Every structure is written in C-alpha cells, then in structure tokens.
C-alpha cells in the first residue's frame, strides 16, 4: 500500500511515494522558472507548476510498477495566487508569488483596518498574503468579467487540474493564509471580501486537511482513480510531518524562506507582535488546530542568489564546505531582506544589505555570513515566540533543504541554547502531506504515525547540542540587530 505526496514548492515540484511504514519508495523532482518582471515583483507561470506536478506524479507512478496507491496529499507554497478559468482550467495571468511586494503601498493605506484583520485572520497587513494580490489582479490583471474567473492558491489550481475540473477546493490551512478567512468563525469573511472586492463565488470551497475531496481523472494526463485526501500549506504540512501534534512542540523549515511554527492547540491564541496566528490543520471532523508562526522570507533563496546571481558557488551544496574554510565571517554580516523582512519586523520596505566589508573579505566570508543570517533570523523569531507563548522552547525540530548543513545546525543550537533535531528524512513537507492523506484513507492512525517518529532520535549525527562557549564565532545579538536596522525602511515609495 502506497501513499503519494505532491509538494509544489516555490522553485520546484517533488512527488514522493511512501509505504505503510513511512519509508520513501520513489521520488521525482522538477524545477520550474521564476519570473521577475519588475523590482519587487515575483511571478510563476502556473502551467509550469502543473507540468512539473503531472510529470513527477507520472514518473513516480511508473516506478511503483502497479502497486496500489491509497491516496495522494497535496502541499504547496502558500499565499501565491492563481487566477484561472474554472471551466477550462487555464490560467488567466501569471501567478503572483508569496514573495511579491507590489501591493506594499496598498497595505499601507489599510492601516486603520489592522485590528480587524488581526482579530479575524491572525495575520498582519503585508503584501505577503493573498488578499491584496487578488485585489491587484482584479484591478490590473485584465481578467475576463465572467463567472468562470476564479482565484485559488496553488493547491486549488493543482487539484482542479488533477480532477479535470471536478473539484474547486482548498483546505483550512491554506485558506487561513489568504487574509480573507476568519480563522475563529472558520468561513470566508464577508467584510474582508468586500474590502478587497472579492466575490465569494470566485473562491474555493474550504475542506478539512485530512479528508477525501476528489479523485484524479485520467483525462488530465495522470493515473486516474487516485483519491486526493490530504491538503495543507507547506509549513503546516511540515509541522505535521515532524509529528508536532502536541501543543508546545515546534519545528523550523529551512526552505526558500524559513518558517517556524509552534502547535498552539485547539484554541486560537490572541495576536502577538511580530508573529502570526494561523490554522495548522483539521483532521476530518475534529476541531481545527492552530499554530503560532514566525515567517522569514529569505533563506534558501539567499543561497540561490549566491549561486545564480553572484556565482560565488556553483551548486547549493558548495555553501557549507566553502563557509567551513574560515573560522567566522570576518566581520561581514548579510541581512537577506530581498523581499522585505518578515517576523518579527514585518517591514515590506527593508532590502538586503552586506555590511562590514574590508579588503580582506573573501568568497568564504560571504558564504559564512549567509549561513550566519539563517541562524540569526531564526534566533529573532524564537525570542519573539518564547515571549508570546510564555514557555521557553526546549527543542527545535528542523527540516528543509538547508537542514542538511551540519555547520548551520550546530550554529543554530549554539545561538538558541537548545538541542536542534534533524529527522532522518529532511523533506518533512511531503511526509506531512502523505500522512494527512493516509489518515483519511485509513492507511494508518495517529498512533501508528507516532510509532514511526524518528525526530527524538539521540543519534549525534541528527541531534545538535549547544556549545555553551559559542566557539562558532556568530555575530553578537547587538551587532546583528544593528545590521537589521540598517536594512529597514530602505525603499521610499514617494
């Protein structure tokens, strides 16, 4: 018995097959292009994402040689918006990506609505979220004035395509990232929809994260008859994949950005400065589970920038070995605010900076400073989360591509003063999506999943303990915060 997961990330799509024991049986990956039509604008061609999802699904299915597939879970980059024709499934505009900053000025004009937005959605007024993106598409996207013109996040678009148009849905975790969904009342909020000019009929039905919501259709060019039974935003899926199912457990995913989520239980916590309240998941008819979240916009994308734009490294895997050739960053600090700063600052006008340059600075020092930036940004979020929750974090579970770097995880443990724990499979996002689908289809129970939890392994190769004297040479907190302040409010939109 096999369960599949389609993980549609920001730079590529990965489909993974897991067996009943949670072991990976097959995997396929495809990157897709990024588009930057103007400074601060980030777009995707949704058909590129669909092609990558279809092709990787077919490749994995071929590797399984006819084994029974019980279901598939979908997990996705959150907040990214696709306008498409519900009848044909064709995109009507390039997708506006979560990193896009084009609606920053619009968010500024809504400052007086922040209390309502915070109370109902748990979010802040920032172009990161979907509502102002949809509003921009309605005003500037030259969309057809038709009842078939609809909007959805990437999960909605992919499920619509996989089912040949039969399903137009999203789950509670993705809906909670749109700034249009009341996370307490658990419905599309009519006041917020009116504020942004979004008609309810253009939004998908909202379903539980673990429940069958459709079946793949062979006419879409994929194997037909596979139940689609799990949906979650990528960070919520990673939280579930790390088995953070008890209140107070937390994980950090080092992906394109870094996202630290803490399970907050079944009661929505009140808003806290610098942090978001979001829906983590809903299992069937059970109450929804909430999470506190700190969102860091640039982590893996900074590594990609070093590789593709500066040519300092030729492959992402070169970063840690290059950084390890120096004892520290030589006084260099990189603040990677390429898309503004997220938690705990929420400054859409911040921009990236490199400080402390001298004639003796080498490629290795800049590489090390990038790793330091991943560590220090997470330290800032953990400090805010400890204050908000009133409970000091005792352990941080980690995943994502950058979690493969032992150097970075050791520095993270040093900075936080707690153990940092890496699972044997660092792609927890896909694992979580598969787990949600398998639960819905009766492949396993929560007890079964807990029995296969490897995140508490005491193997020193996967558990990084803090070195109290911090020999790693991280910048001091004061120096780091001075650098962050230099990056803030850089863009002057007047």
Summarised one tens digit per residue, pLDDT across range 349-401 is: 899 999 999 999 999 999 999 999 999 999 999 988 888 777 677 889 998 88
Domain match, 225 and 313 both: no
pLDDT reported for residue 454:
52
Helix ranges, 361-405 (H): 363-389
Domain match, 147 and 72 both: yes
Domain match, 172 and 290 both: no
Calpha distance 453→249 (Å, rounded): 13
Domain match, 220 and 337 both: no
> Tokens 């509670």 sit at which residue?
172
**Cross-strand bridge partners of residue 467:** none
Closest CA to 366 of 378, 375, 354: 354
**Span 249-304, pLDDT tens digits:** 889 988 888 889 989 889 998 888 889 999 999 999 999 999 999 989 888 889 98
Domain match, 333 and 288 both: yes
SS3 210: strand
Within-domain flag for 428: no
Domain match, 221 and 321 both: no
Closest CA to 278 of 192, 174, 424: 174
Domain match, 10 and 139 both: yes
The number of distinct structural domains making up the chain is: 2
Domain match, 277 and 214 both: no
Within-domain flag for 429: no
Q: H or E stretch including 53?
A: helix 46-63
The domain boundary, picked from 242, 269, 303, lies at 242
Q: What CATH number corresponds to the domain at position 158?
A: 3.30.420.40
Closest CA to 3 of 475, 432, 456, 494: 432
pLDDT reported for residue 23:
85
Pair 463, 454: CB distance under 8 Å: no
Which of left, alpha, beta for 392 (phi over 0: left; psi -120 to 50: alpha)? beta
Within-domain flag for 320: yes
Spatial CB neighbours of 260, under 8 Å, sequence gap ≥ 6 = 250, 251, 252, 293, 294, 296, 343, 378, 381, 382, 385, 396
* Structural domain boundaries, residue 406: 243-422+457-494
Calpha distance 435→418 (Å, rounded): 28
Within-domain flag for 120: yes
Domain match, 89 and 187 both: yes
Domain match, 63 and 124 both: yes
Calpha distance 430→11 (Å, rounded): 15
Regions of the chain where pLDDT drops below 50: 456-458
pLDDT reported for residue 452:
62
Within-domain flag for 433: no
Domain match, 163 and 211 both: yes
Domain match, 289 and 173 both: no
């Amino acid at each position: 018995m096999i369960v599949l997961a389609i993980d549609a990330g920001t730079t590529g799509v990965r489909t993974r097959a897991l067996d009943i024991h949670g072991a990976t049986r097959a995997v396929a990956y495809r990157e897709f292009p990024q588009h930057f039509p103007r400074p601060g604008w980030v777009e995707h061609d949704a058909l590129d994402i669909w092609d990558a999802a279809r092709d990787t699904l077919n490749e994995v299915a071929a590797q399984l040689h006819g084994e029974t597939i019980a279901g598939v879970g979908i997990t996705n980059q959150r907040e990214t918006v696709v306008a498409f024709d519900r009848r044909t499934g064709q995109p009507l505009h390039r997708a506006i990506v979560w990193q896009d900053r084009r609606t920053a000025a619009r968010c500024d004009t809504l400052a007086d609505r922040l209390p309502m937005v915070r109370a109902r959605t748990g979010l802040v007024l920032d172009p990161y979220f979907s509502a102002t993106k949809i509003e921009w598409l309605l005003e500037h996207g030259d969309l057809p004035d038709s009842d078939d013109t609809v909007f959805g996040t990437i999960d909605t678009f992919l499920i619509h395509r996989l089912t040949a148009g039969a399903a137009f849905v999203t789950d509670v975790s993705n809906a909670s990232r749109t700034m249009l969904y009341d996370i307490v009342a658990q419905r599309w909020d009519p006041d917020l929809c009116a504020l942004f000019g979004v008609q309810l009929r253009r939004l998908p039905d909202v379903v539980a994260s673990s429940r069958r919501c459709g079946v793949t259709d062979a006419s879409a060019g994929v194997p037909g008859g596979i139940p689609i039974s799990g949906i979650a935003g990528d960070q919520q899926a990673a939280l579930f994949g790390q088995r953070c199912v008890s209140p107070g457990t937390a994980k950090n995913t080092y992906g394109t950005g870094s996202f630290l989520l803490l399970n907050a239980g079944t009661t929505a916590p009140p808003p806290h400065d610098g942090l978001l309240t979001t829906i983590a998941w809903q299992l069937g008819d059970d109450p929804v589970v909430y999470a506190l979240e700190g969102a860091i916009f640039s982590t893996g994308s900074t590594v990609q920038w070093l590789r593709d734009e500066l040519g300092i490294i030729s492959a992402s895997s070169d970063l840690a070995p290059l950084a390890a050739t120096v004892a520290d960053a030589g006084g260099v600090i990189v603040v990677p605010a390429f898309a503004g700063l997220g938690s705990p600052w929420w400054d859409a006008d911040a921009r990236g900076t490199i400080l402390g340059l001298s004639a003796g600075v080498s490629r290795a020092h800049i590489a090390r400073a990038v790793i330091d930036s991943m560590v220090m940004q997470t330290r800032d979020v953990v400090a805010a989360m400890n204050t908000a929750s009133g409970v000091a974090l005792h352990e941080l579970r980690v995943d994502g591509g950058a979690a493969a770097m032992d150097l970075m995880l050791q520095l993270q443990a040093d900075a936080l003063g707690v153990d940092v724990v890496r699972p044997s499979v660092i792609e927890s996002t896909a694992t979580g999506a598969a787990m949600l689908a398998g639960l819905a289809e009766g492949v396993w129970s929560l007890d079964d999943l807990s029995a296969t939890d490897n995140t508490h392994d005491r193997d020193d190769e996967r558990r990084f303990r803090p070195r109290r004297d911090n020999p790693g040479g991280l910048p001091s907190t004061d120096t780091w915060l001075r650098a962050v302040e230099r990056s803030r409010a850089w863009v002057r939109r007047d």
